[in-house]
Chain A
Amino acid sequence: VVDQIRLWQIENERMKATPGFLFKEFENQKDYQSCVTYAGEIGVLVWKNETKGLFFVSKMEQLRDFIKSRKIK
């Protein structure tokens, strides 16, 4: 029973899995920042690392349109 409880805890508390998309290889910090800010505003931002210029979103459609409209290279 103890084993089962521990495994259950790992599943539900110690390991969180979110499907989505990792964005990377931004040309500059400004483009990265504007995308992170936008992703946060529309509520799809799950994780980010500013030093590495990476972030993860749960949905990408709106963000893709944003990138296109801003002509982010």
Chain B
Amino acid sequence: MPKAVRGVLVQCDPSIKSIILKIDSEEHAFVVEDLDDQTLVIKENMLSILKMRLDAALKENIKTPTDDEESD
């Protein structure tokens, strides 16, 4: 019998996928199956946490001059 595994299919840029794999490598809590360079399956209940971690990682990576909103 073929196996059916529940999860969320994530399709993204290879660059985004490599960040997801890096996040997962710390505790292996997210990825169920690594399918190809743009596709993977993650645990359903971990999607929102993964998105938060991804946002945080991207914010760290994006290098932009700090806009200081405080004016005299």
Residues in chain A within 8 A of chain B (CB atoms): 2-3, 6-7, 10-11, 14-27, 31-32, 35, 46-47, 49, 52, 54, 56, 60, 64, 67, 72-73
Contact = CB atoms under 8 A, between A and B. Distances in A.
B21 interface: no
Contact of B59 (A3, A18, A35): A3
A14 B36 contact: no
A5 B9 CA distance: 24
Q: Interface majority SS on A: helix, strand, loop or mixed? A: mixed
B71 interface: no
Contacts of A56: 9, 41
A47 B11 contact: yes
Given A7-B59, A11-B51, A24 B9 contact: no
Size band of the B side of the interface?
Answer: 20 to 34
A15 B7 contact: no
Contacts of A11: 51
A19 B55 CA distance: 20
B2 A3 contact: no
B58 interface: yes
